[in-house]
Amino acid sequence: MKRNCFQFISQFLLLTFVLGYLLISCSKDEIIKQTQQTNANVTVDLFDHVKLKDGALCFDSAKYVSMIADSLLKMSPDLRKKWENSIGFVSMYSVIDNAYNELGRCSSIEEYNNILYSYSDVLKVEGEDINQIIPLDFYTSIINREGIYYIGQAVVKITPKSKIIVWSGDKSKFNLNGSNLKFGQANTEGLNIVSDDVVVIDYLGTKTLATEVGHELYADREHERRKIKFWITAFRDDWGNHNCDWYWQWKVEIKIENWKKDLWWHTYATTCYWEGVDIKMRMPVEKRYLIKPCGGGTVFFDPYRFGIFTLTGYAVSSGSSEVKSLSRSLTVGHVIQNNPLPLPNFIWARGKATNRGLGGRFAGICHNTQNCHNVN
C-alpha cells in the first residue's frame, strides 16, 4: 500500500510540473489531483473538500482551509487559474491580477485613474505605489472579491487586518457598526468575542516584546524603471467549525512582486527569486492535550509553551517561468487546538530578492541583525 501511495504521489508531482507547459485544456481532475496523507495508509484528494457556494469557496471542514491555501500558492499562475475556472470561482487574487493587467495596457492618465477607482475595493494607492488592501496572498487565493469564504454553515470575511467569523452564516452581521454589538476581550491579543455568533480575530499584529521587531518586514529595489517589492510577514491563522472546535497556528508568508514603469508603475512578468531567507522567532509547542468543558460537552484543549523557530537559507525561484509575483507560506511550530495563540513577531530576520530587470541588484531585508546580506 505504501508503495502504491508513493507511486501515485510521484506521478502527480510529475504531472503537475508538466501541466505548466501544456496549452491543451485540462479536466478538473487533471488540474487539481493533489493528495494529503491523513493517516499512515489513507490519502484523499484535497480539492474534493471545497466547492462553490454563492460565488465563494465553501470548505467541508475547517482543517482543509490552510492546506488548500498553501497548495494554491505553490501552483503556477496558469494552473491556479485553470482550477478556478474548473469550478467557476474568481478569487480576489485573480481580481487583483486582472486589475494589474488593465493598468499595464492603459494609455492615458484618465484611463489609469478610472481603473484604480474601479478596483478601489481591492487596491490602494500609496504615493507612487499600488498595494493590495488584503496584504496576504494566503488569503486572497481563497477569498472572493467580497473577501468571503465559507466553512460549512459558518461564513468568514477577511479584512485588511482581521478575520470576522459568523458561525450562523448571517452575512448581515459583518456590519459591526451597530450600537447593539458589544466587544468583549477574550484575554488574548486581537481576539474579540462580539457575541455568541460573531468573533473578530486580528491576523496581523504589532511589536509586543523588546526582543521582537514586528510582524511585517519589507524592502524594495529600483533600477532603470524596474522594481522588485519583497515582504516577509508573520501572521496568525485560525480556523474553526464552531466555537468548540477551533484551531490556531502561526505562519510566515514570503512574497515578491515585479514592477516596471512606462508612463506609470504596473506589474510585469519576469523571472525572479529570493534567497538567503533566515528567520528567528518564537514558535508554539504543544505540551500535551487536556479536556475542558465547552458548549455543554467537552473538547480537547492544548496547553503550549514557546520554543525557538529558525529558518536558514530558504530560497524559492520562478526558474525559467516569467511571473508577476511569487509567494509561499510556511507554518511555524505546532497547530494548537481550542487555546488561542497570541500574535506572532520576528526576533530577527534577513533575506534578499531580485528579478531579471535589476541586473544583479537585490532588495534586502535585514532586521535586528548586523550580519546583513550583500545586495550590491
Predicted confidence (pLDDT) per residue in 84-136, tens digit: 999 999 999 999 999 999 999 999 999 999 999 999 999 999 988 999 999 99
Grade residue 228 by pLDDT with cuts at 50, 70 and 90.
very high
What are the backbone angles phi and psi of residue 169, rounded to the nearest 5°? Answer: 85, 10
Q: What is the pLDDT of residue 175?
A: 80
Domain ranges of the chain: 46-161, 205-376
Q: What is the pLDDT of residue 241?
A: 76
Residue range 165-196, pLDDT digits in tens = 999 999 999 886 543 444 444 557 788 888 88
With a cut of 80, say whether residue 28 has pLDDT above it. no
User: pLDDT exceeding 90 applies to what percent of the chain?
Assistant: 66
Picking from 122, 49, 112, 42, the residue whose alpha carbon sits closest to that of residue 90 is 122
Q: What is the Cα–Cα distance from 258 to 357, expressed in whole angstroms? A: 9
Question: H-helix or E-strand containing 269?
Answer: none
Whole-Å CA distances, 292 to 74, 170, 284, 339? 37, 28, 20, 10
Rg over alpha carbons for the chain, rounded to the nearest Å, is 21
Q: Chain-wide mean pLDDT for the chain?
A: 84
With a cut of 50, say whether residue 25 has pLDDT above it. no
Q: What is the pTM of this model?
A: 0.84
Identity at 303, one-letter amino acid code:
P
Q: Does domain 205-376 have CATH number 2.60.40?
A: yes
Q: Please, are residues 156 and 146 in contact by the beta-carbon 8 Å criterion? A: no
